[in-house]
Every structure is written in structure tokens, then in C-alpha cells.
Amino acid sequence: MTNDERLSSLSSLAIEENLLGDVAKDPTFVDSVIDEFADKKDRRIELVYKQI
């Protein structure tokens, strides 16, 4: 990964963190995420453990 790619990824993370912070302030956000997940037929998610 080049320095430019790292910087781009870091910028994306910072933007997404700010967006999530704004959205999560909505008291119905967590409930709507849970409802969306519960409505899916296949509720399995793949969790990947990454050692850094």
C-alpha cells in the first residue's frame, strides 16, 4: 500500500466517522439498524479476525 493509498483510506475513515457520529445522534438510529438486520432472512454475518 502506498502512502497516497494510506492517506486516502485515512481520509475516508475520518469522513465516515463524522457521518456516523451525526447519524448516531438520532435516537431511532440504533433501533432502525436492529430492525433492518432482524428483517433479513439470512442473519449470519462473517466476522474476520485480523491480527495487526
Each residue's pLDDT tens digit, 3-33: 777 778 878 888 877 777 777 788 787 788 7
Q: How many angstroms separate the CA atoms of 19 and 12, rounded?
A: 11
* Residue 52 confidence (pLDDT): 67
pTM over 0.85: no
pLDDT at 34: 81
Calculate ∠ Cα 18-15-23, nearest 5°. Answer: 35
Q: Are 14 and 21 in contact (CB under 8 A)?
A: no
Provide the pLDDT for residue 1. Answer: 73
Q: How many residues does the chain have?
A: 52
Cα gap 33→27, rounded to integer Å: 11
